Amino acid sequence: MPRIAILSDVHSNLNALGAVLRDIDEQGGVDRIYCLGDLVGYGPRPNECLALARQRFQLMVRGNHEEALVQGAKDFNEMARRAIDWTRAQIIPDYERATPEQRANWSYVATLPERFSEGTVQYLHGAPQDPVNEYIMPMDIDPQARRYGQKLYTAFTMTQWLTFCGHSHMPAAFCQDGTYFSPTYQRSASYNLAPTLRYLVNVGSVGQPRDGDNRACYAVFADDVVTWRRVPYDIQDTFNNVVAIRDLDITLGERLFRGE
């Protein structure tokens, strides 16, 4: 079985992406790198992140920010809409005058699939019932009562064994038996998967964590075990880059320090 590093929600944060890729290389033994969408949006370095993605990723699926980039931001708040409009202008200001690198980045984003499956494992951004926009959140399950509602029930029925997702920026594992696991605040945390149960696993966010831990987060999947890793990066430099861009709200930089 290949050893797969799984990333999500980079959000044009080149410092965080670079730190995670260095950690993957230093750990060694990873055969593939998959990304679960939202590589762009919010952050200051979309073209550089896309260039790295085309070079390093074996798979990427479409997130809601890639969809907004290509199709227009329909349900985004003003801060997110301004960021995606600015991002679009950086990637493809004018197709006729765009550089070959910009055209390659745009083509890459425009042709991303909604989901990808390998055997009984599927990879997507949101949730099985809506792979781009639906959120799977910690409050969707009550682990003390081992109980969950219709949203998770539907997600489990559309999962053969294991679904990897992102979107919420909160790393976690949701099990069909009603149990829940959170790796927050741990440098490295592992979770064993049983072959007879179904799981939804959120790999967390590389570029904009929202679980109170400001370190970049990603996961490694191998031999029925998911291991989350937290990686520190230069938040101050990313913040400075956000502040230098008028169309990016300063909140997008400030929240990085707080992990929210």
pLDDT tens-digit map of 66-77: 999 999 888 899
User: For position 93, what pLDDT does the model report?
Assistant: 77
- What mean pLDDT is reported for the chain? 96
Beta strands in 77-198 (DSSP E): 115-118, 121-124, 141-142, 147-148, 162-165, 172-175, 180-181, 188-192
* 124-164 pLDDT tens trace: 999 999 999 999 999 999 998 999 999 999 999 999 999 99
User: For position 218, what pLDDT does the model report?
Assistant: 98
Of 92-101, 109-118, 243-252, which gets the smallest average pLDDT?
92-101
Q: Is 18's pLDDT higher than 90?
A: yes
**Average pLDDT value for residue range 154-183:** 97
Look at residues 123, 136, 124, 195 and name the one whose alpha carbon lies nearest to residue 161.
195
Phi then psi for residue 230, to 5 deg, are -110, 135
User: For position 75, what pLDDT does the model report?
Assistant: 85
Q: Is 94's pLDDT higher than 90?
A: no
Q: Is 95's pLDDT higher than 80?
A: no
Q: Which two tokens stand for residue 220?
A: 């490694």
Look at residues 195, 224, 221, 218 and name the one whose alpha carbon lies nearest to residue 205.
218
What residue has token string 């927050």?
A: 184
CB–CB of 91/46 below 8 Å?
A: yes
* Distance separating alpha carbons of residues 121 and 132, to the nearest angstrom: 17
Beta-strand pair 4-7/32-35:
parallel
Look at residues 15, 39, 3 and name the one whose alpha carbon lies nearest to residue 236.
15
Burial tier of 222 (Cβ tally within 10 Å: 0-12, 13-18, 19+): middle
Q: Is 5's pLDDT higher than 90?
A: yes
CA 18 to chain centre: 15
* Domains of the chain, earliest start first: 4-258 (3.60.21.10)
Of 43-52, 98-107, 155-164, 186-195, which gets the smallest average pLDDT?
98-107
In the chain the first and final C-alpha atoms are separated, in Å, by 35
Distances (CA, A) of 186 to 103, 125, 229: 40, 23, 8
